Homo-oligomer: A and B are copies of this chain.
Amino acid sequence: MMDFLSQCRAVVGDAHVLDTAAGMAPFLTDQRGRHTGKALAVLRPGTVEQVAALVRACARHRVAVVPQGGNTGLVLGSVPDGSGTQVLLSLARLNRVRQVDAVNRTMTVDAGCILQHIQEAAAAEGCLFPLSLAAEGSCTIGGNLATNAGGTAVLRYGNTRELCLGLEVVTPQGEIWSGLRGLRKDNTGYDLRDLFIGAEGTLGIITGAVLKLYPQPKASITALAALPSPAAALQLLVLMQDRCGASLTGFELMSRYCLQLVAEQFPQLPKPFAAPHAQYVLLELSSSESEQHAVGLLEQAIGAALDSGVIDDAVVATSVSQSAALWQVREHIPLAQARAGKNIKHDISLPVSRIAEFIAVTGPKLDAAFPGCQLVCFGHLGDGNLHYNVAPPTGVSNEDFLLNQDKVNRVVYDSVEAFGGSISAEHGIGALKREELARYKSPVELNMMRAIKAALDPLGIMNPGKIL
């Protein structure tokens, strides 16, 4: 391996091949601190050509490569295994915004660009890059693409997949595929772009991308609605979409227990309603016209929902700053959970129309198996995406309850499968859910995935042990 590492040093310089324990440590533990891997070295290329040269060296020496962006993933996709034989390839130094084209509404970026910097560069040109998620201050667009990240703007703008027009990829052979096309229409052969998006670095390394930009909305206004049930939330969704179309940019469900947790852990936050309700929906409306248009449209729609008895009560923000205060309640749910102690998390999706039934059926099953367990159920209802987390019953310690993780997962995922849902809506598979994937995917689909993996990466050096 000395020969391999010298080749790496010849490519990127000594300073960018880290092989001491201290040098590698910041790269080897995952975001939630559940796994610390070992690596042969951490490689920090500064150009696409260096990435390609490093991968060629890896192919020659049969060294496995784990690509890493901001290392904010939640499924152990960007950390090495425990063997110490894999190299970690950090894209962090590839962090240039290469070009912004405000007329084509595109931006060409290096994979290592931090999401927030991309949002800011778009805004500086009067445009919106709509991808937005909790880790945006440290995650990179390459990681967002590799995991097809979701976030809070999917209802209107789609997942990361829908926000990308072209890619640059270093193949497992160390060649550079220059697919940086900024085209809205291009029907020339197989859709390789979408194959690399969401492949979590197992088919190649994304080094650059052409992203879609949108006009900046003039204003976004929110409301918080109180409802009797998830079924009522679905009625509200249909009503809002029919009346507001693409202006509806957010639709987040939160259960009574979620708001109770936030109130307990963050008593300083506003409490929008005097009495508790069974469910809440945070709605966001964006207008390309004006703040006044957004407020008027939202008030009319909320009025109609009240009149028809779909919702029990509502608070409508009448300004952008009031809207931000309502979003705070939603954003504090994960923080409140973390303060309250660990729980068993599920990032699931379902057909939107089946969510109420899923919630009605799955809760009692969990309660039967784990009497008194608490559900922290919230999420992007408009996308069918629930964060369906299970906390211990009163009096049971988090540590004891976590011993039930496999059994809890089985109840939840079996129910997800029965309702035609997905066991990973927006986080991906990584190493964490690999066995679950093998359990729930059909052999036909798994075999096609394996055939593609073997065809593009015959040496099996690209992020092995992830997904498949």
Contacts and interface: CB of A to CB of B under 8 A. Distances in A.
Interface of A: 101-106, 126, 147-148, 150, 154, 156, 158-159, 161-162, 171, 175-179, 181-192, 194-195, 197-199, 203, 214-217, 234, 237-238, 241-247, 286-289, 297, 349-354, 380, 382-385, 420-429, 433, 437, 440-442, 444-445, 448-449, 451-456, 467-468
A287 B455 CA distance: 47
Given A288-B244, A448-B456, A452-B456, A188 B424 contact: yes
Contact of A351 (B106, B147, B188, B385): B106
Given A194-B194, A217-B245, 10 more contacts: A103-B234, A178-B444, A185-B349, A185-B384, A187-B429, A188-B424, A190-B453, A195-B452, A245-B286, A245-B287
Nearest to A104: B353
Contacts of A215: 241-242, 245
Copy number in the complex reads: 2
Which one of A171, A194, A453 has the greatest number of beta carbons of chain B within 10 Å?
A: A194
Contact of A442 (B147, B177, B216, B245): B177
Contacts of A217: 245
A217 B245 CA distance: 7
Contacts of A448: 171, 177, 190, 192, 456
Contact of A426 (B150, B187, B442): B187
24 contacts: A101-B353, A102-B238, A103-B237, A150-B185, A158-B162, A171-B448, A178-B444, A184-B349, A185-B384, A186-B424, A187-B422, A187-B427, A188-B422, A188-B429, A189-B445, A189-B467, A190-B448, A190-B452, A191-B195, A191-B198, A192-B445, A244-B288, A246-B246, A455-B455
